[in-house]
Amino acid sequence: MQKLSRRQVIATFSAATFTLCPAVLNAAVYGWADGFTDDAPQGQDRLVNVSGSAMVDITDLAPGEMAVFARANGAGEFTNTGGTQYVGILHRTPEQIAAGAGAQTQDERYLVVNLVCPHCGFAIGLTDDPSTPFACTKTGGRHGSTFNAAGVGVGGASDDGDTLSVPGYTLNVGGTVTISLT
pLDDT tens for 78-132 read 888 889 999 999 999 999 999 888 888 999 999 999 999 988 888 898 888 888 8
Whether the CA torsion 129, 182, 45, 2 is positive or negative: it is positive
Domain definitions of the chain by residue range: 2-181
pLDDT tens for 11-68 read 332 222 232 323 323 333 344 444 446 677 765 545 678 888 889 899 989 898 888 9
Helix (H) or strand (E) holding 27: helix 26-29
Q: How far is CA 80 from the centre of its chain?
A: 16
79 Rama class: left (phi>0) / alpha (psi -120 to 50) / beta: alpha
* CATH code, residues 2-181: 2.102.10.10
Q: pTM surpassing 0.85? A: no
Q: By three-state DSSP, how is residue 39 classified? A: coil
